[in-house]
């Protein structure tokens, strides 16, 4: 019998800090990392580039199934490479974020990306971050975390991040965007954003990254020997 590599799933809404936590946990344990949101973002970017109507489920799913993608790691940073081009910055643009949320609502797109995500599972283990890692993609994961934070706090974090990069935005617009995206992610028919029944829910509104990291590592110690 082959032993399946353990998976730590970290799901939650955008801005909850799950990407940062996932990276820190993977670094600490020497596990691989799957940023599943990047797959939806890459699908959205490829569809926008090809000028495909985002509501055309069949065509967008074809794009998802045939994505030529690679994640490259250099100096501790993960970059997303689409058809040989580093698009790590492009996929973080606001218009791609909105498009990603739309394509993620299409069941055929989610189906096309399912096996691709499972293929990231390898020894010694995987940290997978997203929305449905614990519910749909890795239901047998021994550690499942659902990380939340209030919408206001998440908008503020995004605001600080963009300001730090010299991008001027309004906090109100960001809050509206976050609420619109949450609404779409939580209310879609396929794999809506929700904690798995066996997930541990952590709220990062008033805890810093270090505090959340400690709690996740404690869970790992309890559940993965
Ligand atoms: O985590 P993120 O912001 O990079 O995700 C981009 C979009 O993809 C977001 O609208 C939610 C969606 N997504 C999803 O539906 N399922 C996942 N496992 C990961 C992301």
Q: Give all domains of the chain, ordered by start, each with its CATH number.
A: 7-212 (3.40.50.300)
Per-position pLDDT tens, the chain of length 225: 457 899 999 999 988 999 999 999 999 999 999 999 999 999 999 999 999 999 999 999 999 999 999 888 777 788 999 999 999 999 998 899 889 989 999 999 999 999 999 999 999 999 999 999 999 999 999 999 999 999 999 999 989 988 988 988 899 999 998 998 888 888 888 878 889 999 999 999 999 999 999 999 999 999 997
CA 40 to ligand 1 center in whole angstroms: 6
- Residue 166, classified by CB atoms within 10 Å of its CB into exposed (0-12), middle (13-18) or buried (19+), is exposed
- The pTM for the full model equals 0.91
Nearest to 8 by CA among 129, 148, 117, 137: 129
CA 130 to ligand 1 center in whole angstroms: 6
- Within 6 Å (CB) of ligand 1, which residues are found? 14, 36-37, 40-41, 100-101, 104, 130-132, 181, 185
């Amino acid at each position: 019998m082959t032993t399946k590599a353990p998976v730590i799933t970290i799901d939650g809404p955008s801005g909850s800090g799950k990407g940062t936590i996932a990276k820190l946990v993977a670094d600490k344990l020497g596990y691989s990392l799957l940023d599943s949101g990047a797959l939806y973002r890459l699908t959205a970017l490829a569809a926008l580039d090809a000028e495909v109507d985002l509501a055309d489920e069949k065509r967008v799913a074809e794009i998802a199934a045939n994505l030529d993608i690679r994640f490259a790691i250099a100096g501790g940073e993960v970059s997303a490479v689409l058809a040989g081009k580093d698009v790590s910055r492009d996929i973080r643009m606001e218009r791609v974020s909105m498009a990603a949320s739309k394509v993620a609502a299409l069941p055929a797109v989610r189906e096309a990306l399912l096996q691709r995500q499972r293929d990231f599972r390898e020894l010694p283990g995987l940290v997978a971050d997203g929305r449905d890692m614990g519910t749909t993609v890795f239901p047998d994961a021994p550690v499942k975390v659902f990380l939340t934070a209030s919408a206001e706090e998440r908008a503020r974090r995004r605001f600080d991040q963009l300001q730090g990069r010299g991008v001027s935005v309004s906090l109100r617009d960001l809050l509206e965007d976050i609420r619109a995206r949450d609404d779409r992610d939580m209310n879609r028919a396929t794999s809506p954003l929700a904690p798995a029944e066996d997930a541990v829910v952590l709220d990062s509104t008033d805890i810093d990254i270090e505090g959340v990291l400690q709690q996740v590592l404690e869970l790992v110690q309890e559940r993965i020997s």
